[in-house]
Amino acid sequence: MANRKPIPVIDLFAGPGGLGEGFSSLVDPNGTPQFSLRVSIEKDFHAHQTLSLRALFRYFRKGKAPDCYYDYVRGMISRAELFSHPAAKEAGEVALKEARLAELGKTPHEEIDSWITEALKDETDWVLIGGPPCQAYSLAGRSRRTKEDQEKFESDEKHFLYMEYLRIIRRFKPAVFVMENVKGILSSTLGGSGIFERIMADLSSPGDGLKYGIRSFVVSGDTENLSPRDFVIESEKFGIPQCRHRVILFGVRADIAASTQELSVHPERFTLPITSVPVSVSEALSGLPKLRSCLSKKSPEPDSHEAWLRVLRGTKAALGGWHVLESEKFLTNLRLAIEESASIRFSGSHFIHWESTPTAMEGRLQEWYFDGRLGGTIQHDTRSHMPSDLHRYLFASCYAKTFGFSPKVTQFPKSLLPNHENASNDNPPFADRFRVQLASHPSSTVVAHVAKDGHYFIHPDPAQCRSLTVREVARLQTFPDNYFFEGNRTQQYTQVGNAVPPLLAKKIAIVVADFMRISSCRQLAPNLSSV
């Protein structure tokens, strides 16, 4: 592909841009991008602002963004000042044509189609990416459903948003598409029939005689030889510091597949290589400044380092005579954590100036995350917590450090049980409500729920006694450190939780680029005279 132009990419339901970032970051040895993100569509205002800001940054070759971009993400100038700055004005105009604020299914088809037509021009060798909203299919969502909720679920319009994705396929006939969704889609039903089977049938035959073969990125073979489970990518096996399991489909237009002998001769070539050693939470968070949590406004006294320490020092008394095997080791870890907490005075900020590098990272991983021009860390400030939750966090993180796993609610001292109905049952619902992310393992799945509270994402370092910051969950999602999320902190968490890990997307992009390099896409371009 060295002598070919970058392959156009259209991104639907783009969120903050995880998939698009991965495809856009793939370059040849000369630094030339192999893909060109032409249009990304997102309905959420703040996610769209994130998309357009990243599009401005991406306009410049790696390492060449103007100083005004860094001034903006450090909080030194406004967004309006950035987009009107002479060094960034042209990039901003291009970015706002690429990142479109629109709701697929509600924005008129003619408007959506005009953007795509203008972006593609006469090119037919292109890729469609994206993932229709997945909340309707999530296993967690289903577990909370009542009979009334089920009726509402049956009529949820999110079930049918993949039809918008399907419409674009039928209308514009991409050579390849990549579609992402939650694992729960495999077992979700609607009107008594499986949703996944319906989607697979529709994507395989979008209409107008168009046909696609749906392949897996992790199991080689044709559609008819694969089971639904074969389409699940377990991210931790591919160098992502997170146990995120998602269905990702690799659609290839049938005429191209039929003419690409390599698909049948060496199908394993088009699957992701497994990483020999998983990336741990501690490695992913390496180099980030240590922070203390804050006391919430509902606490008995205003937040301060001294007041926070008093709460932590009261944790042992709050255990209420709790005893387990090896409790002396636990109590030692508790004491050491509180001693170290005395030196952690800062709770973070929008921008923290520092001159350090994440030295515990493997070289390629460090190259992916780190940007020396930042001169520090952005969006790394802690939440405020009630004293009772700080006791739970300190208990849970010390327990995890002592025994090597995060305790279930049933293993908490009764004095620390949350004041919820059924919390003291032998088999309470959501028994892992307080979950420590173990330092030596990949994290659990980062989800949008992180925006509501941090109980599922307790920092592994007991001395910091807190939930993870936006920058830390962004690290677990493999967003580069210079990736800025717009909106307030809750909106930032939501964007990160809903995204596809960009580093995983880049690895998928490598497979797609390899396929398109050896396929006959250009020779078999479909008749697009109607487009």
**Cα separation of 35 and 32, whole Å?**
9
| pLDDT at res. 428 | 62
pLDDT band at 392 (very low <50, low <70, confident <90, very high): very high
Of 161-165, 262-266, 464-468, which has the strongest mean pLDDT? 464-468
Q: What is the mean pLDDT of residues 13-34?
A: 95
pLDDT value, residue 158: 58
pLDDT at 153 over 80: no
Mean pLDDT within 467-474? 98
Residues 6+ positions from 265 with CB-CB distance below 8 Å: none
Q: Give me the pLDDT at residue 148, please.
A: 53
Structure-block tokens of residue 297? 């406004």
d(Cα 490, Cα 493) in Å, to the nearest integer? 5
Amino acid identity of residue 185, one-letter, is I
Q: What is the pLDDT of residues 75-130, one digit of tens each?
A: 999 999 999 999 999 999 999 999 999 999 999 999 999 999 999 998 989 999 99
* Cα–Cα–Cα angle for 66, 71, 75, rounded to 5 degrees: 155
Is the pLDDT reported for residue 227 higher than 50?
yes
Query: Could you report the per-residue pLDDT of 36-50, keeping only the tens digit for each?
Result: 999 999 999 999 999
**Average pLDDT value for the chain:** 90
Residue 527's pLDDT is 41
Average pLDDT for residues 417-429, to the nearest whole number? 64
Per-residue confidence (pLDDT) for residue 190, from 0 to 100: 74
pLDDT of residue 223: 82
User: How confident is the model over 341-376, as pLDDT tens digits?
Assistant: 999 999 999 999 987 777 788 888 999 999 999 999
Would the pLDDT of 156 be above 60?
Answer: no
Q: Rounded CA gap, 235 and 243, in Å? A: 6
Determine phi and psi for 130, rounding to 5 degrees: 140, 170
3-state SS class at 8? strand
Q: Can you give the pLDDT at residue 194?
A: 86
Q: Is the pLDDT of residue 420 over 70?
A: no
Average pLDDT on 253-269 reads 93
* High-pLDDT (> 70) share of the chain, %: 89
The whole-number pLDDT of residue 394 equals 97
Take residue 2 and report the two structure tokens written for it.
């060295």
Q: Which whole number is the average pLDDT over 256-269?
A: 92
Does position 154 have pLDDT exceeding 60, yes or no? no
Inform me whether the pLDDT recorded for 325 exceeds 70. Answer: no
Do 219 and 226 meet the contact criterion of CB atoms below 8 Å apart? yes
Comparing 194 with 305, the larger pLDDT belongs to 305
CA 142 from chain centre, in angstroms, equals 21
Residue 147 in this model has a pLDDT that exceeds 60: no
**What is the band of 61 on the pLDDT scale with cuts at 50, 70, 90?**
confident
> Two tokens at 69?
């971009």
**Model confidence at 132, in pLDDT bands (50, 70, 90)?**
confident
**Cα dihedral 217, 219, 225, 226 sign:** negative
SS3 of 9, please?
strand
Predicted TM-score of the model (pTM)? 0.92
Among 122-136, 249-263, 494-508, name the one with the lowest average pLDDT.
122-136
Instruction: Say whether pLDDT at 481 is over 60.
Output: yes
Choice between 324 and 307, residue whose per-residue pLDDT is larger = 307
